[in-house]
Chain A
Amino acid sequence: MKNKKELAIALFFTLNGALAILILTGIFYLLLSNSFYAWRDVGFWRFLTGLEWRPAGFSHSLYGIRTLIVGTLMVTAGSMIIAVPLGIGCAAYLAEVASPIEREIIKPVVEVLAAVPSVVLGFFGIVVLSPLLAKVFNLPNGLNALNGSILLALMSLPTIISIAEDALAAVPREYKEASLALGANRVQTLRHVLLPAAGSGVTAAVMLGVGRAIGETMTVIMATGNALKSPTGYFSSVRTLTATIAIELGEVPYNTTHYYALFAIGFVLFTMTFAVSLLADIFLHRASEVGKR
């Protein structure tokens, strides 16, 4: 009797654990099944590579997401160009240069940034960054890909800093001591020993930052201007995949081609972030192996 009760309890907890698998497959199934209707109506390649997204076209509607994919990739790449050097620089500073007092001050400050809601960052983009960019670069307005990139960089910095710093701290002390004993100075040790040894962890940190940037919605919707034209550079207004869903899902009637097409965009997003998460996972796994050696 007692054994049966124990078994039942174990089964109950197991089921709760399995729920994570169920939710992930549920999201996958729901996005994919709705996407099929969109691809049936639009055509898979025309959906993926079509230049124009015109869901409420006068004579006929167009559902091509190439411009949207370009928008997402642009702001993501832009944010990483800013955040990767800054983030790794900051992590290296915290791990190797900063005094204990500096660390005590900097780490909570970065943690505060991690807690700032994305909608507040978007608001900052509208009220501070946009006028600033307009003035500096002499633009009619500063709601463009650059603005979005800067905000997304701010957003992914805490993730990059904390994980890259963990990776640097996890490098066995012997590595550093051996390098210093051979006469290398602290910078040489950092560049030629610590960073390569922490490479996997640092790469994972960047991957997680990329994932956050691709999936972020509110910041880009508020800061990038959301124009549907093909962007010509970082001063162009761009529309991302996430912003398109957020702008249009509220107004679209359920179970129309437009509705399904938005789910198909969701599926594309899901696939992108899933791939990035898996990559991050592989690198994190490698990083933990380095720590064990």
Chain B
Amino acid sequence: MNSTENNTIMKTKKDGKFGFSFDNQVIVFALLRTSMIIVVMSIAYLMYDIISKGIGAVSWEFITSMPRKGMTEGGIWPAVLGTVYVTMITALASVPVGVFAAIYLNEYASKNVFTRIIRLSIRNLAGVPSIVYGMFGVALFVQALALGSSVLSAGLTLGLLTLPVTITASEEALKTVPISYREGALALGATRWQAIRTNVLPSAVPGIITGMILGVSRAAGETAPILFTGAAFYLPRLPGSLSSKFMALPYHLFIMSTQHHSIDKVRPLAYGTALVLIALVVAMNLTAILLRIHYRKKLRG
């Protein structure tokens, strides 16, 4: 069958019902372009709305002052600080374990059932809903380990949530280190661990840091896991210890847009909070991306 015949068959099959052929390049490419434009425009509008209405509320004072008069006035300082604290605990909890697990997977693991089960578990952990992590945090950290509803419990819960991200990113970083780095060290008589410590890890650090930032930025925006593990509606003072409750930017936005007693009145503050939160998360993501590009160039050059 030559190609012209083939085309005619395809056409007779698809024509008629719609009055045009779905093999028509102009029409199909236009449809594809339309779907792309719809997606890009929705994102652009989302960002435009938050930025244009939030920018009026945001000032240095808004970020660094306490909320006043039942949160109808003033700033978001305790929420900013709470988010910073909780993400620091998250990073401390998930990065070491994530890196160690990645070292196992990339440097030690042989292709056996045990390794496959670990990989399967990691992928499934990445798919567990964030609210389920929240329940796990309540049952494990708040109740069983008696850490109470606190910034520590919330940070550890978020640490579990980000673990799949940290492991995957760290493993990717280790993978980019050329095999010859290991072989060189081993040939000089170094043990496996010495090769990893002196030759592999230093080259993988930028990649690991990139992964850490991505994981932490996800944690900073999460609300569901901290709902019951330590986030507070309102606190008159800043969190003082690991066992105190805390305010967080995402939870604050949730409250300001659904739970507050005069939602319409605080709408500008909610917009301001949304903008600060987006700016924080996007800035972290941009840093990670720029770091990645920078070190990739360096590795090649």
A residues at B contact (CB < 8 Å): 2, 5-6, 9-10, 12-14, 16-21, 23-24, 26-27, 30-31, 34, 85-87, 89-90, 92-94, 96-98, 106, 108-113, 115-124, 126-128, 154, 157, 161, 182-188, 190-192, 208, 211, 214-218, 221-222, 242, 245-246, 249-250, 254, 262-263, 266, 269-270, 273-274, 276-278, 280-281
Contacts and interface: CB of A to CB of B under 8 A. Distances in A.
A117 B224 contact: no
Nearest to A85: B35
B108 A14 contact: yes
28 contacts: A2-B191, A10-B108, A13-B103, A13-B107, A16-B100, A16-B104, A17-B118, A18-B114, A19-B101, A24-B121, A86-B38, A90-B39, A93-B32, A96-B32, A109-B40, A115-B217, A115-B285, A116-B281, A117-B221, A117-B222, A123-B253, A123-B257, A124-B49, A127-B257, A127-B271, A154-B46, A216-B129, A222-B257
A23 B285 contact: no
B133 to A, nearest CB: 8
Given A13-B108, A17-B115, A86-B39, 6 more contacts: A117-B281, A123-B257, A215-B128, A249-B138, A262-B135, A274-B124
Nearest to B23: A188
A277 B113 CA distance: 19
B221 A118 contact: yes
Interface in B96-113: 97, 100-101, 103-105, 107-109
Contacts of B181: none
A280 B221 CA distance: 25
Interface residues of B, number: 94
B3 A182 contact: yes
Interface of B: 2-4, 6-7, 10, 22-25, 28-29, 31-36, 38-40, 42-47, 49-50, 97, 100-101, 103-105, 107-109, 114-115, 117-118, 120-136, 138-140, 143, 160, 163-164, 167, 191-193, 217, 220-224, 227-228, 250-251, 253-254, 257-258, 267, 270-271, 274, 277-278, 281-282, 285, 289
B278 A117 contact: yes
A262 B4 CA distance: 62
B40 to A, nearest CB: 6
Nearest to A150: B42
Main secondary structure of the interface of B (DSSP, over half): helix
Main secondary structure of the interface of A (DSSP, over half): helix
A97 B108 contact: no
B131 A6 contact: no
A218 B223 contact: yes
A20 B127 contact: no
A16 B126 CA distance: 17
Given A16-B101, A106-B36, A123 B274 contact: yes
B278 A215 contact: no
A215 B130 contact: yes
Contacts of A23: 121, 125, 160, 163
A9 B125 contact: no
Contacts of B34: 89
Given A112-B47, A124-B50, A222-B254, A187 B104 contact: no
Given A2-B191, A117-B250, A266-B132, A187 B138 contact: no
